[in-house]
């Protein structure tokens, strides 16, 4: 009797399972025959924000460039993360640009302060919940003239966007605009597309960070190569002949065209500051520095070689490149063992362009290659040293 009572719950459970299974079979039989369709769940994709910058220089003697970054979105997240690059395209060493940022603030369009926090050495997070648009403002100390940094003084402003402007994390492909408010009657030169009075547009942040600005009362000259407009702007005095520079640069550019059969840009800008030395290639421009008394004799030939080097990068690195060198990771080093192609091949062909343009003798060409070869052989482990600031590399 006891056994029967113990079996009752089990029997009832089995009966319930049978009925449930039968119900399931009947329901399946009622369904139309054919392959079962997998439910489709539409993924909600983040909406790229509208980003615009205003760069001001109201007090150039303070060396502070003033930036306003306006972010607008139809689907603003609760928190918006923005970051400043730690390096700039073409210059392989991490520069930690965020260390020059000061007076950071965030406000909505009514002027109400928004909470924010610094989450990493170059990252900020803004509480943007409930807003459709907000403005971030900050200043960047700019008192270092190199081809990869910023300088503002009572003479001019030169700035590299990667060393000045931030980007919304996760939206590196978002377009943006930059409006420059120059000091006094200063002029503006940049490779970006001009869309309004002192306003320029970039199709994405890779283009923006690859487009330096020169602002000041610079000298300039324009010329065409194969129908493509070229512009040479010079800040500073010196023993240069700008007309001669333009003529010789045009010859070098023609040789580049003959080699590749095409000029891969709509226009091109050379920015030259007559202090220091070096160059850095960009998408459709280059930043150059040269000693103001270095435009005669062999030093002028060296200058033309620098011009040719950066111009050759139009093809080698900007169009033909190692995978790691674009699209870029702006948060850390972009290591590659192909610098011998990116920089080595460019260093070889720079002299060929100048020599073929009739601006360098065969002896000068061979002597230059010998000197560079000896220099490279004298530096062991050059691959790792480039990212540790232990050896210089051509730009």
What is the pLDDT of the chain when averaged over all its residues?
Answer: 87
Please identify which residue in the block is written with the tokens 């550019």.
253
Domain 50-216: CATH class, spelled out: mainly beta
DSSP 11: H
Q: If you ran DSSP here, which 8-state letter would residue 345 be given?
A: I
Percent residues over pLDDT 70 in the chain? 82
pLDDT band at 342 (very low <50, low <70, confident <90, very high): confident
| pLDDT confidence band for 46 (50 / 70 / 90) | confident
* pLDDT, position 365: 80
Does pLDDT of 195 surpass 90? yes
Instruction: Show the tokens assigned to 75.
Output: 């689907």
Hunting for tokens 């023609």 — which residue is that? Answer: 254
Give the per-residue pLDDT at 391: 47
Confidence check: pLDDT of 17 > 50: no
CB 266 within 8 A of CB 207: no
- Domain 219-386 adopts which CATH fold? Neutral Protease; domain 2 (1.10.390)
Bridge partners, 230 (sequence order) = 223, 268
The whole-number pLDDT of residue 321 equals 79
The structure's pTM equals 0.84
Domain with CATH 2.60.40.3650 in the chain: 50-216
Please state, in angstroms and rounded to a whole number, the distance separating the CA atoms of residues 81 and 84. Answer: 11
pLDDT band (50, 70, 90) for residue 39: low
In this predicted structure, the answer to whether residue 384 has a pLDDT above a threshold of 80 is no
Within the chain, which residue ranges are assigned CATH 1.10.390.10?
219-386
Task: Report residue 204 as tokens.
Answer: 């994405």
Residue whose token pair is 């330096």: 212
Question: If pLDDT is split at 50, 70 and 90, which confidence band does 53 have?
Answer: very high
Q: Given this model, what pLDDT does residue 341 score?
A: 84
User: Could you tell me the CA-to-CA distances from 203 to 50, 164, 177 in Å, in that order?
Assistant: 11, 18, 9
CA distance 43 to 58: 46
Q: Give the separation between CA 343 and CA 321, rounded to whole angstroms.
A: 10
Residue whose pair of structure tokens reads 């620098």 in the numeric block: 306
């Amino acid at each position: 009797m006891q056994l029967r009572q113990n079996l009752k719950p089990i029997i009832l459970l089995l009966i319930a399972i049978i009925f449930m299974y039968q119900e399931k079979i009947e329901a399946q039989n009622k369904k139309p025959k054919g392959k079962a369709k997998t439910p489709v769940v539409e993924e909600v994709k983040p909406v790229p924000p509208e980003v615009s910058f205003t760069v001001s220089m109201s007090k150039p003697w303070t060396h502070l460039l003033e930036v306003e970054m306006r972010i607008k979105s139809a689907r603003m997240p609760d928190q918006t993360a923005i970051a400043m690059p730690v390096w700039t395209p073409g210059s392989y060493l991490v520069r930690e640009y965020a260390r020059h940022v000061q007076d950071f603030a965030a406000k909505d369009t009514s002027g109400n302060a928004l909470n924010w926090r610094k989450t990493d050495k170059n990252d900020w997070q803004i509480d943007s919940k409930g807003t459709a648009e907000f403005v971030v403002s900050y200043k960047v100390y700019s008192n270092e003239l190199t081809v990869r940094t910023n300088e503002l003084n009572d003479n001019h402003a030169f700035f590299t966007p990667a060393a000045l402007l931030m980007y919304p994390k996760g939206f590196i492909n978002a377009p943006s605009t930059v409006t420059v408010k120059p000091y006094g009657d200063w002029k503006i030169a940049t490779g970006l597309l001009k869309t309004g009075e002192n306003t320029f547009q970039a199709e994405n942040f890779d283009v923006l960070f690859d487009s330096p600005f020169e602002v000041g009362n610079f000298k300039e000259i324009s010329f065409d190569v194969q129908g493509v407009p070229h512009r040479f702007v010079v800040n500073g005095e010196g023993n240069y002949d700008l007309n001669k520079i333009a003529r010789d640069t045009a010859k070098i550019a023609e040789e580049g065209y003959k080699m590749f059969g095409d000029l891969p840009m709509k226009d091109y800008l050379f920015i030259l500051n007559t202090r220091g030395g070096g160059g850095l290639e960009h998408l459709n421009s280059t930043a150059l520095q040269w000693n103001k008394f270095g435009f005669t004799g062999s030093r002028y030939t060296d200058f033309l070689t620098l011009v040719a080097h950066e111009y050759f990068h139009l093809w080698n690195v900007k169009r033909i490149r190692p995978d790691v060198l674009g699209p870029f990771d702006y948060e850390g080093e972009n290591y590659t063992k192909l610098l011998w192609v990116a920089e080595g091949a460019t260093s070889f062909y720079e002299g060929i362009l100048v020599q073929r343009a009739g601006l360098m003798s065969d002896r000068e060409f061979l002597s230059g290659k010998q000197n560079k070869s000896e220099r490279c052989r004298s530096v062991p482990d050059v691959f790792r040293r480039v990212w540790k600031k232990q050896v210089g590399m051509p730009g």
